[in-house]
Homo-oligomer: A and B are copies of this chain.
Amino acid sequence: MSIFFNKVTIIGVGLIGGSLARVLKTGNLAGGITGAGRSRETLDLALKLGVVDRIDQNSAAAVDNADLVVLASPVGAFLGIAREIGPRLKKGAIVTDVGSVKGELVKKIEEILPRGVHFVPGHPIAGKEKHGVAESNETLFKDTKCILTPTARTDPKAFEAVKSLWRVAGATVMLMDAEAHDHIFAAVSHLPHAAAYAMVNTVAEFSAGEENYINFSGAGFRDFTRIAASSPEMWRDICLLNGKNILEMIEQYQFALARIKKAIKHRDGAKLENLFSSASRIRKGLD
């Protein structure tokens, strides 16, 4: 399926939004791209970098006559934006998002957007610890997965268009139930982020004389905590929107830590080796 959008509006021109804009530009998939969002500074930079053609701090005005609207701001802003842009969207417009949380959020967005507007919920599994439009790149999605979570309401043509866009970006598109998505990503993404933030905060509390313990950290610690450099605002939103699943996963994680603690307390070397071996084997399988 060949795709072309006369006007695309990207709300939130950060790493993901900016990279998707670059994909649209490189592939000549858009007549024009408007960047919208709260931060004038970000928008000015996006314009200067040639990531977008026009900028507008008013999201509602920015979607006038848009064929495709991409919600790429922190997920916590999606509902407010949906309310804001809803009345201004043209009939037949496609709205998609790149949020790491689906489930309830998708249902609410569907309720807010007017009939005749087609919402296609998406989640590209891409990103890095460095954020912002300056880090955007049209190759960011190459050889990654993009998950789409269509609902009973999703328009098949709009769905195909969004699917094609992600394929052009280089991603493998996967379909998933929105609730299943949120449970899976609570485990493989949201929990590790919370755990990395907690790790940095734990170690930073200690110091020897004037030297913070963290200054003695090696490559392992740096790998482990790399994701703790991610956007705090984005992860705050994700924790609030997928709270139930994330709480479940943190609790499971606490159990796993407690098992290790117990084995250390009981000086149970066989048990420790067993716990570590299984993890080591599984982790090696991921490379």
Contacts and interface: CB of A to CB of B under 8 A. Distances in A.
B256 A257 contact: no
A222 B223 CA distance: 9
Contacts of A283: 196, 200, 225-226, 228-229
Interface stretch (A41-49, A61-69, A82-90, A187-195): A187-195
B204 A224 contact: no
- Total identical chains: 2
A3 interface: no
A257 B261 contact: no
Interface of A: 76, 125-129, 144-145, 180, 183-185, 187-189, 191-206, 208, 213-214, 216-233, 235-237, 239-240, 243, 246-247, 249-257, 259-261, 263-265, 267, 269, 272-273, 275-280, 282-284, 286-287
A156 B220 CA distance: 32
Contacts of A276: 197, 228, 232, 235-236
B197 A127 contact: no
Given A193-B220, A275-B197, A188 B202 contact: no
B260 A257 contact: no
Contacts of A256: 198-199, 201-202
A213 B188 contact: yes
A199 B204 contact: no
9 contacts: A187-B202, A189-B221, A198-B259, A199-B253, A201-B275, A202-B249, A220-B227, A239-B263, A243-B265
Given A187-B206, A195-B224, A199-B191, A257 B253 contact: yes
Nearest to A126: B218
**A interface, by DSSP: helix, strand, loop or mixed?**
helix
A240 B268 CA distance: 8
Contacts of A144: 218
B233 A273 contact: yes
Contact of A267 (B214, B222, B240): B240
B202 A191 contact: yes
Of A76, A206, A246, most B-chain CB atoms within 10 Å: A206
Contacts of A128: 219
A231 B278 CA distance: 11
A125 B216 contact: yes
Contact of A239 (B185, B194, B272): B272
A279 B228 contact: yes
Contacts of A255: 202
Contacts of A227: 220, 223-224
Of A193, A202, A253, most B-chain CB atoms within 10 Å: A202
Nearest to A278: B201
Contacts of A195: 195, 199, 224, 257
